[in-house]
Amino acid sequence: MNKNSYSDSYKAAGVDVTAGYRAVDLMKQHVARTQTSGVVSGIGGFGGLFRPNFAGMQDPILVSGTDGVGTKLKIAFLMDKHDTIGIDCVAMCVNDVICCGAQPMFFLDYIATGKNVPEKIAQIVKGVAEGCVQGESAIVGGETAEMPGFYPEDEYDLAGFSVGIVDRTKMIDGSKLQAGDVLIGLPSSGVHSNGFSLVRKVFDLNQENVGKYVEELGMTLGEALLTPTKIYVKPMRQLMQAVEVKAVSHVTGGGFYENIPRMMNSGMTAKINLKAVPRLPIFDLIQKTGKIPEHDMYNTFNMGVGMVCAVAEKDAAKALETLKEAGQNAVAIGEVTQGEEGVILC
């Protein structure tokens, strides 16, 4: 910190530059957890430097993904809990990057807030760091913007982006899909980070009801809704090393109807057996409370399946065993068929 860097005039306008320096000092311990051999520079410079490892690659391709957390942040505000929301931010990016077979390399975040409270910012970055550890990514930089008058003092927004790498010869693009291939669903941890505008409307959330214990959930409503998005990088990389993965879909906003067709080639349809879907209690509660039609549930939420991948029928048993060893209670939820529907739920 430059001891000469302060501005009483800027502080009077609502921006305390010294709070920014304090936040950086507090977050350094969390950022350090994520450092990998590719990191060239520490945080604090004008650009994050990273040396990618091209060993064994014939034609390396960079893959990028960016996203935020959306209105799930409102739950964090109500509960005044900020140390897990960063996991969601990382998850929404690295789970996209892994879909084409890429290894995430590094991550940057952006936090915009009405008032920079260093301890709160450090808690947010703590979650980002945990997500990066799970997602095998290094934090190489970020930005914290104090924006009084734009955001309320006790609120913030969080976004980030991931950059990964894959050899073109090993890219997963669905081109090898065939009728009869098995669709495997990896379980979600809950609502993840999508559909929270509908969730908040259904429950009319406030500080009182987020703290209400719900028997069928085994926890408070707020705890269930704030459960971090599952990060699939490590189990999917193990799976890709064990069998040929033909296509992958990250099930996010738009649920089954929008996301699963994105992994299908023209003339191919994903036929999903709904009885095989490991539906979580939180979705039953949302549907019952909001009187939401079944179609809308599967068109909004992940319903218990956060990622879907396709493998040949001969590889299905090995794929399921590999995922089990990786801590995923994955299940076969359907098959690839010929057709133009994209996805059929039956």
120-178 per-position pLDDT tens digit: 999 999 999 999 999 999 999 999 999 999 999 999 999 999 999 999 999 999 999 99
Which one of 137, 170, 203 terminates a domain?
170
Structure tokens at 133: 């550890």
- Terminal CA-to-CA distance of the chain, rounded, Å? 60
Q: Are residues 224 and 165 in the same domain?
A: no
Task: Quote the pLDDT of residue 3.
Answer: 60
**Residue 262 belongs to domain with CATH number:** 3.90.650.10
Residue type, 273: N
CA gap 252, 299 in Å, rounded: 10
Percent of the chain with pLDDT over 70: 97
Number of domains observed in the structure of the chain = 2
> Could you read off the pLDDT of 193-211 as tens digits, one per residue?
999 999 999 999 998 999 9
Task: Quote the pLDDT of residue 7.
Answer: 66
Give, for 233, the enclosing helix (H) or strand (E): helix 233-242
Q: Are residues 127 and 233 in the same domain?
A: no
pLDDT band at 5 (very low <50, low <70, confident <90, very high): low
Sheet with 305-311: strands ordered across: 245-250, 305-311, 182-187, 331-338, 268-272, 343-345
> Could you read off the pLDDT of 288-321 as tens digits, one per residue?
999 999 999 999 999 999 999 999 999 999 999 9
Domain containing 225 equals 182-345
> Could you read off the pLDDT of 216-268 as tens digits, one per residue?
999 999 999 999 999 999 999 999 999 999 999 999 999 999 999 999 988 99
Q: Are residues 229 and 192 in the same domain?
A: yes
CA gap 95, 235 in Å, rounded: 11
Which of 236, 246, 249 is CA-nearest to residue 104?
Answer: 236
